[in-house]
Structure 1
Amino acid sequence: MKLVISILIFFFNSFSKKKLSYQAIGNAYLVCESQFDKNIFDYCSYIKDGLLKELPNISRRSIFFLRVHPPILFRFVAPCYSIFVQVEHTLVKPGGRDSEGFEAGALLIPGVSSSMTYLARLSKYESMKKFDFIVEYSRINLVNIQGAAKFSNLRDKVLYLSPALYKLNSASSDARRRNFITITNFGNAEEPRRKNFLEVMRSKEIPIQNIRTWYSDVEELYARTRILVNIRQTDHHDTLEELRVLPALRSGVIVISELAPYKELIRYAEFIIWGTLDELPEIIRNVQDNYEATWNSIFGTSKFARRMNRLELCNQLTMARWAKQINCKLTSSR
């Protein structure tokens, strides 16, 4: 079996830009890209680690493909299951960039007509629907998508895994170690609303630094950071950037974020400092001036650790249920 898979991957890699590798765990084999995209590397690695922990529980020989649709020849070797990783912002107002042609979702747009909903924007839907399972990082996305009739065929495929990345490390507010006082990490700081925000911060002489190219070892960046500021990229794309926010919190970083619609769905909103775009500069100044007291109010109680541990446990239970579902499929296919 190993030899056959090795040969198939060799031939695949010979004719494809996307290079694959595999690991054998018990009865199962996990095939994935040799190198994940840099901007989602940590989340994909987290999912991969979760899969590797569950694969010893798979009862029969089978092959799992992470972010890869199984090439046809693999299906002659063993049952194959493919897993898509959904990392897009799907909560988009009508008229927003790249929103044309998408159906209404389930969530109402706050502050406008009582009947106007966000769109459920799944730009990779045609590819996604071919996969057996879909990993979703955002409960806000999930609730919105599940209300769209067009995407009803995805409902039984979705695995919600919060990005509880990095070992919980909120034990220290050490200002000497955390030498980045306040940061943003915008990939594109020239987006108008983000550019304008940074200009306002400079005009008010509030220290802030955009870290744009730190893609590897992000955990180290957060270990050296006191405050992370989160601003949405556009006025139309409203999904909270949880892939940025939650890992930072778990690293003991104070997170100050622009208010996000349906933030109560994320289960850790109380540990984030929220404000409107106009309010954020003075909120940031106040937190900078009262860093130790603010840090202790967020991380200094046992409630924060309990909530973070609960998120991890929920992810583990999701993966355990997934493995049980796979075993049922394998049993019924005999």
Structure 2
Amino acid sequence: MKLVIALLIFLFNSFQKNKLSYQSVGNAYLVYESKFDKNVFDYCSYIKDGLLKELPNISRRSIFFLRVYPPILFRLVAPCYSIYIQVEHTLVKPGGRDSGGFEAGTLPIPNAPSSNSYLARLNNYASMKKFDFIIEYSRINLINIQSATKYSDLRDKLLYLSPSLYRLHGTSSDARRRNFITITNFGNSEEPRRKNFLEVMRSKEIPIQNIHTWYSDVEELYARTRILVNIRQTDHHDTLEELRVLPALRSGVIVISEIAPYKELTRYSEFIIWGTLDELPEIIRNVQDNYEATWNSIFGTSKFARRMNRLELCNQLTLARWSKKINHKLTSSR
């Protein structure tokens, strides 16, 4: 079996630009992209590692494809299951960029007429619906997708796995090592909303640095950072950037964020400092001036570690339920 899989991977890679790798664990094989997209590399790697830990519990020979739809030849060898990783912002107001043609979910837009709800935007829906399972990084997105009639065929496929990346930081702020005092990590700082914010910060002489080229070893970046500021890219795309803020929190970074709708659904919003876009500059100045006290108020109690450990446990339980579901399918198909 292993030789057959290796041969099929070799044949596939001979004709495709995006190369595949694989690992065998017990009865199962995991096939995945040899190089994940740089913007989501750490989350995809986290999912891959989580799957590899769970695959020993798969009872029969099978092949799992992560972010790859199974080529037909693999289906002749063993049962195949495909896994999609959903990283879009789905919580979009009507009229937002790339929002045409999407229907509304049931999450109301704050401070809007009661009849106005967020759109449930999935640009990759046509590809996504072909997959057997869909991993979602955001509970806000998850609820938004589940509430849209158009996506009813996805509901039984969805798995929520929080981006609980990186090891938990210790009990010290380690301020001397954190030489990046305050950062943003906007991929495009020329987006009008973010550009205006950085200009306001400069005009108020509040030090801040945009780090936009640090894609590998992001854990090291966060280990050297005191404060991360999170600003949404547009006025219409409202999903909280959890792929950014949760890993930063776990690394002991104080996260100051523009208020995000339905932030309580994250289950860790109490550890983030929130404010409106206009309020953020003075909030940031205050935290810079009172860094140690602020750090201790967030990370200096056992509650933070308990919550982070709980998020990790929930991910493990989700994958355990997933493997049981797979085993049921495998048994039923015999």
TM-score range, shorter chain: over 0.9
| Pairwise CA distance, 1:11 | 1.0
| Superposition TM-score, scaled by structure 1 size | 0.99
Aligned equivalents of 2:113 and 2:214: distance in 1? 41
| Pairwise CA distance, 1:284 | 0.0
Aligned equivalents of 1:125 and 1:3: distance in 2? 35
Q: Which amino acid aligns with 1:316?
A: Q
Instruction: Give per-residue Cα distances to partners, 1:288-331, cap 9 Å, x unaligned.
Output: 00000000000000000000000000000000000000000000
In the alignment, is the contact (CA less than 8 A) between 1:106 and 1:145 conserved in 2?
Answer: no
Instruction: Give per-residue Cα distances to partners, 1:205-226, cap 9 Å, x unaligned.
Output: 0000000000000000000000
Q: Which amino acid aligns with 1:96?
A: G
Query: Match for residue 69 of structure 1?
Result: 69
Query: Match for residue 271 of structure 1?
Result: 271
Q: CA RMSD in A?
A: 0.5
Q: Which amino acid aligns with 2:256?
A: I
Aligned equivalents of 1:260 and 1:170: distance in 2? 28
Q: Which amino acid aligns with 2:54?
A: E
Query: Match for residue 286 of structure 1?
Result: 286
Q: Which amino acid aligns with 1:312?
A: E
Query: Match for residue 295 of structure 1?
Result: 295
Count how many residue pairs are aligned between Structure 1 and Structure 2. Answer: 334
| Counterpart check, 1:249 vs 2:246 | no
Distance change (3 Å), C-alpha of 1:230 and 1:237: same
Query: Match for residue 96 of structure 1?
Result: 96
Query: Match for residue 214 of structure 2?
Result: 214
| Counterpart check, 1:107 vs 2:107 | yes
| Counterpart check, 1:223 vs 2:223 | yes
Q: Which amino acid aligns with 2:184?
A: T
| Counterpart check, 1:24 vs 2:24 | yes
Aligned equivalents of 2:129 and 2:174: distance in 1? 47
Query: Match for residue 146 of structure 1?
Result: 146
Aligned equivalents of 2:30 and 2:13: distance in 1? 16
Query: Match for residue 307 of structure 1?
Result: 307
| Pairwise CA distance, 1:233 | 0.3
Runs of 4+ in structure 1 over 3 Å off: none
Aligned equivalents of 2:326 and 2:303: distance in 1? 35
Aligned equivalents of 1:302 and 1:49: distance in 2? 27
Question: Per the alignment, in what secondary structure is the counterpart of residue 328 of structure 1?
Answer: helix
| Pairwise CA distance, 1:63 | 0.0
Query: Match for residue 81 of structure 1?
Result: 81
Q: Which moved more, 1:239-248 or 1:12-21?
A: 12-21
Question: Per the alignment, in what secondary structure is the counterpart of residue 152 of structure 2?
Answer: helix
In the alignment, is the contact (CA less than 8 A) between 1:19 and 1:33 conserved in 2?
Answer: yes
Aligned equivalents of 1:65 and 1:26: distance in 2? 16
| Superposition TM-score, scaled by structure 2 size | 0.99
| Pairwise CA distance, 1:172 | 2.2
In the alignment, is the contact (CA less than 8 A) between 1:170 and 1:250 conserved in 2?
Answer: no
Aligned equivalents of 1:205 and 1:106: distance in 2? 42
Instruction: Give per-residue Cα distances to partners, 1:254-295, cap 9 Å, x unaligned.
Output: 000000000010000000000000000000000000000000
Question: Per the alignment, in what secondary structure is the counterpart of residue 70 of structure 1?
Answer: coil
Q: Which amino acid aligns with 2:56?
A: P
| Pairwise CA distance, 1:178 | 0.4
Question: Per the alignment, in what secondary structure is the counterpart of residue 228 of structure 2?
Answer: strand
Query: Match for residue 162 of structure 2?
Result: 162
Distance change (3 Å), C-alpha of 1:92 and 1:58: same
Query: Match for residue 42 of structure 1?
Result: 42
The 5-angstrom pairing of residues 125-136 of structure 1 reads: 125-136=125-136
Aligned equivalents of 1:177 and 1:251: distance in 2? 13
In the alignment, is the contact (CA less than 8 A) between 1:181 and 1:227 conserved in 2?
Answer: yes
Instruction: Give per-residue Cα distances to partners, 1:79-120, cap 9 Å, x unaligned.
Output: 000000000000000000000011111200000110110000
| Pairwise CA distance, 1:22 | 0.4
| Counterpart check, 1:201 vs 2:201 | yes
Q: Which amino acid aligns with 2:67?
A: R
Question: Per the alignment, in what secondary structure is the counterpart of residue 21 of structure 1?
Answer: strand
| Pairwise CA distance, 1:170 | 4.0
Question: Per the alignment, in what secondary structure is the counterpart of residue 183 of structure 1?
Answer: strand
In the alignment, is the contact (CA less than 8 A) between 1:106 and 1:146 conserved in 2?
Answer: no
Aligned equivalents of 2:67 and 2:174: distance in 1? 39
